[in-house]
Chains A and B, each alone.
Chain A
Amino acid sequence: MIRPEPVQHVKHRRDLALKTLVDAVPYAGFLGIEFERHGDELTAVLRYDDKLIGNPALPAIHGGVIASFLEVAAIIELSWAMLWDALESGELRPEDMAENLPRLPKTIDFSVDYLRTGLPRDAYARARVNRSGRRYASVHVEAWQDNRTRLFAQATGHFVMPQSADE
């Protein structure tokens, strides 16, 4: 019988891979977006900052920040889902990722539904890959602030999957 891999090795491998993936996107850092992970489930977190305001009179988070947050959440989720099997099988070593970053999916279109005003506080988002083929993917994202069931924005995006170098 093969002994299961020690839990700290599993966590270290997954957390390092996720950190390498997210740190490689400068715009995610500029906005202050972080990712929390439970198993393979990701939650994107947008830390509130005054520069994210669009309407100072309310005040409300800029619609462009919300669209950006959802698109970052969708691209990271899709990339994460794409890498997961190779990461778990040991085919992809997270230590090698920084030197040889995975190519990211490219957005074809992105449609955002603004449901409520973005309040000046942290926001959360989770993306779901509804379809992922060899070439195209469709991803839905939901974002909330205080209550998980009261979404303040949602979006659907379509993406072209990165092709391997020989294609």
Chain B
Amino acid sequence: MTEISAQDFINALPFARALGMTLEALGDGRAQISMPWDARFVGDPATGVIHGGAVSALMDTCGGAAVLSYPDATTTATIDLRIDYMRAATPGQRITARAECYHVTRRVAFVRATAHDDDSANPVATATGAFTFDRKAHP
């Protein structure tokens, strides 16, 4: 995973590209991906705040990337993902997610993630999830 360029990873995922995601860091079970504010992603027109689902998509992509960057990982899929929305993301600001794959078993990877806007001290959302985990076969 770490051998391919960071943006190749995003470009291979049509929906990550549709949301304008940028992969900023990747390796050893950690990933950082950001997404711009865009009027098309707004959930509540009264406030201009990005829809929770778009933040969820960012967290899911970042979680999957973190799993794939774990040594020997081959493919992954989300089993479940729970998001807690702490506060509304500020309209006009980028949202950055950081995910960490903190434990793996033979078949499962456990991930936690946080997302923030320009105010990096106050998370917009946090997430925890379980992902499928497949390793390279070592003959």
| Residues of chain A having any CB pair with chain B under 8 Å | 24-27, 29-31, 50-56, 60, 62-65, 67-72, 75, 101, 103-104, 106-114, 117
Q: Do residues A110 and B82 form an inter-chain contact, with CB atoms below 8 A?
A: yes
| Closest 10 pairs between A and B when the two form their complex, measured CB to CB | A64-B57, A68-B53, A62-B15, A27-B51, A111-B82, A67-B56, A63-B78, A51-B18, A64-B60, A30-B40
Complex contact A52–B14 (CB within 8 A): yes
Q: Which residues of A contact B42 (CB under 8 A)?
A: 25-27
- Tell me the bound Cα distance from A72 to B78 in angstroms: 19
A123–B82 Cα distance when bound, in Å, is 21
- Chain B, Cβ-Cβ closest to A29: B40
* Range for the number of chain B residues in contact with chain A: 35 or more
How far does the alpha carbon of A50 sit from the alpha carbon of B14 in the complex, in Å?
Answer: 7
The residues of A that contact B64 with a CB separation of less than 8 Å are 63
CB-CB under 8 A for A26 and B14, given A67-B56, A107-B52? no
Given contacts A62-B60, A64-B56, A71-B51, contact A111 B80 (CB under 8 A): yes
